[in-house]
Every structure is written in C-alpha cells, then in structure tokens.
Amino acid sequence: MRLSNCFFITRREFPNDEDTLSAKYLIKSGIIYKNDKGVYTYLPFGFKVVENIKKIIRDEFYKINANEVIMPSLVPSRVFDDTGRKELFDLEMYNLIDRNNREYSLCPTSEELFAMLSKNKIMSYKDLHFTLFQIGNKFRDEESLKCGISRKKEFIMADAYSFDANDGGADISYDKMYLAFKNIFTKMGLSTMVVRSDAAYMKGLSSEEFQVLSEYGDNSVVKCTNCTFTSNIEDADCKNKYKLYSDKLDRKELINTHGLTDVLELSKKLNIPVSSFIKSFIFKVNGDYKMILLRGNSNININKLKRLFNTNDIIVPSSYELEKIGTVDEYYGPIDCTMEIIADNEIKSLINAVVGSNKKNKHWINICPNKDFKVDRFADVKLFDENSVCPKCKAKCNILKGIEVGHIFKLGDNYSEIYDLKYTDEKNEINYVHMGSYGIGIDRCINSIAECYHDENGILWPMAVAPFKVGIIIANVNDHDTFKYAKALYDKLNSIGIDCLLDDRKESIGVKFNDMDLLGLPIRITVGQSLQDKEVEFKLRNSIVTEYVSCDEIINKIKETIEENSWN
C-alpha cells in the first residue's frame, strides 16, 4: 500500500473522550474511528490488523479440524426463550419487532443456533466428534462503555462449539481448544493468565477465562501468592477466616449515634473495629424482600446472590418502597425483621456487633447473631477483597486488573436436553450430546495488544498482527534514484509475501518519521542520502538503534528479522 493514495487518518493530539491509553493510541494512529460511545469503525490499517488476527485464529482452529460456518446475527427471539437466556441477558440483549410484528434479537452469543444446526446431522455415535466455528459480529447493550473497544455494543468474536458423545470426549475437545487458545494468544504476542470463572450465564458446568493483565483492565482477577489458584473476582470463593475471639457477651444496648450512618465514621466515633459492624442490605428477589448481612469491611457480590437464588430478578428497592414496608432508610437492621435473613459466612463468628435499629439516629451495640435475631441461612455472598484468603491454601492473594480476551466453557448436555439433541450409541441406547463453547474477542485482543505494546510515540505492533511488517520511507520523493529504488524494494517485498507500506507522500522527513512511529510497524526502512553508498537505514520500532544495511543484503535482513520476531 502506498500512503500517497490510501485512506489514512492520524491525529496530532489524543482524543479527550477516551479513558484508556489503548483507545487513545488506536484513534490517534488511525486504526479506529469513534462513531459514538461503544461504536467504532475499523479504518484500513485497523481492518488489516483484524484480518491478521482472524488468520491466526483460523490457522489454529484448522489444526484441530474445526469447520467454519457463517451464522446469522439476527435471529427469532424464541431461540433464546427456549434456553431462558433472554432473561439472563436481560437489558444487554437488543430486541426488535419486524413489519409482521415478529420479535427478533441480535445475537449476543450463538450456543442455541449451533445446537439447533447440529441436530440436523447427529443421529448416531458415528456422527461424533466434530467442532464448528464462526467469526462474526455479536451485539450487547453494554452498561459500561469506559474501556474503549473492550466494551463495544457491536463486537467481533470468534466462537467455536464442540460436540461429543460423552464427558471424556468433551474433556478432550476442551483440552485441545485450551491449547489452541494458548497458541493463538502467544502468536499475537499476548501473555495470558487463565482464571476460573462463572459459567452460569452460558448455562455451563465450568469455565475459564484468558486474561491479559493491564492497569486499564475492566476485570478484577484473584491470584494466590502461594499456590496456583486464580479466579475472576466475581467467582472467587470467600472462606471465613474469622475465629470467635471471645465468648464474653456484653449487654445489648440501644445507643444514639447522632445522625451518623457511614460505617467508617461510626467505627471512629464508637472506637469499635469496622469488622465488628453488620451491614444490612435489602433486595427484592423474585418479588420478595430479603435482608442480606455482611461484616462492615465487606462488600456484596451480586453474582453470588444470583447463583444463591438461581435468578436474575434481583433489584434494589427504592426509599419509597422501603418506607412502605416499615423500614427506616440507612438505619434498618436484622432485629425484629420479618423478612428472610441471609448472612454471609463471616457473620457466624461475630459477637458484640453493631447493627442498625430501624430507628432514626439509633444503633444497637453488643448484638449476637442467632441470639438477638434469627439467621435463616448462612452463605458466601461476599465479594473477594484484599482481606480475603485463598480458598485453597488460605494464603494471601493479589487482586489484579485484567482484560478478558478469551473464554472457554464445558456445557455438558444442558443445551442438548433443551433441543433434544441425541444420538444412538454402539449398544443402540439413546444419549444426549455433550457440548463445549469457546470464544475469542477480537476487539479485546487488539485493545490488549495496544495496552501491552506502546511507548510515548505510539503503538508497537507485534510482527504477526501488524498492519504491515515493513514501512519504507522515501526521504525525498523528488529524487529520481531514491524514489526508483524505494519503489523497486517495495514491489519486491510484496511479491515475496512481505506486506509492506510505502510512504511516498510529499511531506517532511520529520512528519514521516512521526507517523511511522505512531503506526507502530515493526520494521522501518529509510531510503535517503545513504543510497549513494548503496545502503539504506534499517530500524526496528522497538529499538533506538539505526543500522545501515547494504542494498544487496536488505531483503535477507528483513526476512531474518521477521523470522526472529515471529512467535510460532
């Protein structure tokens, strides 16, 4: 591609409406264009990055004999009604009505479609195993749009689905895809941490995420400092590390707290540790009010509540609703409470606690669970935090920021039961098919690469995903010999399969250097005055060193450099 006649947009300043460095660099370098919050266009250079990533994914999927298909993005909404996932996705799913008053949805994922398709093939055990995949656009009405192209309303995803006769076969498919994912991310230059995750919203049995650690990550992940435990923070189990430090029960007392409602302020005022407070939350679960209790230094994990009650129908009542049922906002507590009370496991060992009294400006002190109020059940409803310990070895854990680039699921026979996806085995017995689901977010991969590989001048694209492997700068386009040699080198490199960009614009050399750094192509060749000595300038984007290489050796030098900097 020649820069003089291509659609090329760069900016001299960062956009002021993006929070992450990756989005700022991607926009500044002309990889993407922002249409709206969560809506972006891939410009020509960005398109090439997308296509390079797709090729990496296809190459690895083909190695495990996966077959590619193209599925529709617009499907009848009843597809998701059958599995109950329309309710699970809730407001994230785009729904519309066509001219015949039929309801359609834009696919956020495609497990249902692949299960329905496979039913047309699978009759006997001889029809198994196989894996299908697609690379296409998905849609979700994301609530948070602060992470650049990691959180898009329309996103590009490679999703694969395996079909096996039993758990053993499904495990083999899962392991093959796990290794394929590792190879894919390695070829992109991404180092990933695999963490346990919640499979509920995919109606799965278990799942793992591939996370790229980044300070701008939109996920929090837990990593033990002692053992191999890793988990998405929302799926990390919290073990009760508290022991009953005393069996002395002080006298229960109602005290005036003078309008203080904040736990930290109350702790300071009363000289009582925050961990000795009980925070009370009221939620409406499937229409019924529930009180949830946690220690004062803990936060609630809504996903754990959803799993506990097996529902997505969990809302926070308004102050008006709470007043109608007889509670005093910011002062309610468990004593004399008539609704069901669920307490976090860490409440079990708490005595002489401080709780709300349901009276304005009043709190109870020296309260003991199951003595002064009844707990209907204890459960792990706490969000893992810096005070939590590893659920495996009880060591300290680090909480890190990450960008999820891939997700793999064991689905078991959940979808097969819904769609009656069965086969006849060797004994002529009928069994359900076992499925796996595997997804890679291509936008998230690009975002992660830009986060991991950049400096103050722009992005440093890894060789395998770079829009071009080589950028050739003509120092003076008006010099006939310089232009002729640069054009010949450009043509030669492209003819041997090395994707090359030629900057033949009538711009100053400084502008050309700045734009080439901003674009982040791995290799820069400058054809200028040194051509008189039959040499050209050779520079790697990730190096400050400029070499002078003879014109006879430059192509071999480029080939060797590409080979050395490619992950196989």
- For residue 159, what are its two tokens? 């999703």
203: closest CA among 102, 332, 115, 143?
A: 115
pLDDT digits (tens, 9 = 90+) for 39-72: 999 999 999 999 999 999 999 999 999 999 999 9
233: closest CA among 180, 302, 336?
A: 302
Q: Measure the CA–CA gap between 346 and 351, rounded to whole angstroms.
A: 11
> What pLDDT is stored for residue 183 in this prediction?
96
pTM for the model stands at 0.88
Q: Measure the CA–CA gap between 311 and 476, rounded to whole angstroms.
A: 67
> What pLDDT is stored for residue 240 in this prediction?
86
pLDDT digits (tens, 9 = 90+) for 402-442: 999 999 999 999 889 988 999 999 999 999 999 999 999 99
| Orientation of helix 21-28 relative to helix 442-452, angle to 10° | 100
Q: Which SS3 state, helix, strand or coil, does residue 9 take? A: coil
Helices (H), 30-95: 44-63, 78-83, 85-89
> What pLDDT is stored for residue 202 in this prediction?
58
The C-alpha angle with vertex 351 and arms to 349 and 354, in degrees rounded to 5, equals 120
The number of CA neighbours under 13 Å toward the Cβ of 533 is: 9
- Using 50 as the pLDDT threshold, list the residues of the chain that sit under it: 568
- For residue 164, what are its two tokens? 């096996």
